[in-house]
Amino acid sequence: MTDIATNPLLDFSGLPRFDAITPDHVKPAIEELLTRARALVERLTAAETEATWAGFAQPLADGLEGFSRAWGIVGHLHSVNDVPAWREAYNAMLPEVSRFFAELGQNLALFSKYKALRASDEYARLDPAQKRIVDNEIRDFRLSGAELPDAAKPRFQEIQEELSSLAAKFSENLLDATNAFAEIVTDPAELGGLPEDVREAAREAAARAGVEGWKFTLHMPSYLPVLQFADSRRLRAALYRAYATRASEFGPAELDNTPLIRRILELRQEEARMLGFANYAEVSLTPKMAESTTQVAAFLRDLAARAKPFAERDLAQLKEFAAAELGLAALEPWDIAWASEKLRQQRYSFSEQEVKEYFTEPKVLAGLFGVIEKLYAVRVLPDSAPVWHEDVRFYRIETPEGQLVGQFYLDLYARETKRGGAWMDEAITRRRIHPGGIQAPVAYLNCNFPRPVGERNGQPKPATFSHDDVTTLFHETGHGLHHLLTRVEELGVSGIHGVEWDAVELPSQFMENYCWEWDVVRGMSAHVDSGEELPRALFERMLAAKNFQSGMQAVRQIEFSLFDLLLHSDFDPAGGNLLDLLAEVRREVAVIVPPDWHRFPNSFSHIFAGGYAAGYYSYKWAEVLSADCYAAFEEAGNPFDLATGRRFLDEILSVGGARPALESFRAFRGRDPQVDALLRHSGMVEA
């Protein structure tokens, strides 16, 4: 038997031992935990085990927690350290883990125990969190195929295993395709317009690669500045095309996600039909706030109708400016970010690069932690723990009296071995440990920001972040706070567990508002060279530009959301053409139509390798909720109003998934959500 002494993945006594865990530990640890988990399930489903909370539900949750935690560590390392050995270790065990969860979801004996608990006299005496867990479990068993005929269950299980493998492969292909491209520039004339730190990073990248000149890649810290600032149209077009065709038929066949997409859609459709649903979107919506695909489609189309006139105006102004001021008679997709930046500079007299010089990493982190401390009456302090990379920092959140609330890892910089984007994930979830005590929650906060480059007075300069980067950091921290500030003690609904997927973005989007409060911004700004805070006049220009092209941004998100919804509801994966559907959606809601060779679906990780299938609309749905919540602080006349902050903590963050999200919203706002605040915050109301 594998034990803690020989395998740190089996040690649940504290924080993950990232300094000791290696890929070789994965197989023996996961196999050992699977053996333990199956024995536990067998014991708890025995006839003599009573269907009570203390005798059945609680021991099951506690007993499976270690397995989930260990596999979570493996999945995390696959995301942030995707070297061949970790990829191999993860993929070797993925089918086994998927098989176990499919078995669990179809275990009729477990299902019967939960139904018996639901029907018992004890159910009425359970607290609301416990009742919610029982109800969720019964719903999820039905969605996992527990009520399928025995003859159909093996096929359902095969589908789950294959979908897990396809999702992992989709993500790996995208990362490999992103890493495979590099544009080497040797002519300094092609660097015109690029900020100095971007040039320096490209020069350092070329030196590391052993080539002369400047190396540009498709990772965000390299790609975005080229599209936004590079005066070389050739360079912008080269990177745009490479980015737009990643993991498609235009690259190596082994990295093409096209066949994976079709297979994923076919399997999801088969799964939905087996469960008695018309399509996969209906499966996806069952545990969400939204009641039907019709309701979601109507919501998106209503938003599109409100946003599209503003988007059309945005684009018309940009085209007019590009023709008159930049000599671009035809505005190509690789010109849009560049021309938009020029228009922003002309209209508001500042560039994003100018702003970026003021947001140095130490000041931004201090400002972020200050917001958390003022809003929720806690302290954020540096802490120590083993980490997976030298870049990673670790912090603790305490009460003013010094009691531990939770801890989090912060991994800010982009790396070639780290998947793109920004995300929060859980390392440990808060729960009551029997017979006594509370297990403190721990979160991972991951971003892909540019690392520090250059020196000042012989010392390395701190990293500088764009205002968008700062907003991203606040967003992910909002997710983290949802996980860390919970007061729920039952694992199944603690933190983000059990929260409807279309409400889970509420706390993250809520935090973004503080990136636009002057007192917050001034407190987290210090010019990278002079140390001076951001001038108030520059902030006012940023504020005036806040809703610059917000119409175009809104319809772009609606385009992705509607495409996702229709793809999983009205689309035939066997005979339909994915790109035709996307073109149809764009004709309805979009104002910018990319070239025919653009392969957006091939990199749409949210729905093909994440949890957002038929759920991408959640971003706009939750934006309505978060804007309406922030409006409560506006109505109180203070973004840090103590009573409102306490109520937001008590009614939204601390309850986690212990009650329906709509009930939590109503408890905070005293009414149902309204779209007015979102439209006002986005500048999509006529003056």
Query: Active-site positions?
Result: 476
**Amino acid of residue 241:** R
CA–CA separation, 572 and 265 (whole Å): 9
Closest listed residue to residue 548, CA positions, set 332, 324, 310: 310
Element (H, E) at 257: none
Helix, strand, or coil (residue 349)? coil
Tokens of 522: 């001034």
Tokens of 100: 């176990």
Tokens of 386: 């083993």
Helix, strand, or coil (residue 405)? strand
What single-letter DSSP state applies at residue 360? B
In angstroms, the Cα distances linking 648 to 488, 547, 630, 641, 666 are: 15, 26, 10, 11, 11
Q: How far is CA 651 from the centre of its chain?
A: 23
Tokens of 151: 């003859």
Q: How far is CA 671 from the centre of its chain?
A: 28
CA–CA separation, 650 and 6 (whole Å): 43
Q: How far is CA 568 from the centre of its chain?
A: 20
What are the DSSP calls for 9-27, one per residue? GG--SSS--TTT--GGGHH
Long-range contact list for 383-389, CB < 8 A, 24+ apart? 383/407, 385/15, 385/18, 385/409, 386/15, 386/16, 386/17, 386/18, 386/19, 386/20, 387/18, 387/19, 388/18, 388/76, 388/77, 388/80, 388/81, 389/80, 389/81, 389/415
The residues pairing with 480 across neighbouring beta strands, listed in sequence order, are none
The residues pairing with 408 across neighbouring beta strands, listed in sequence order, are 395, 443
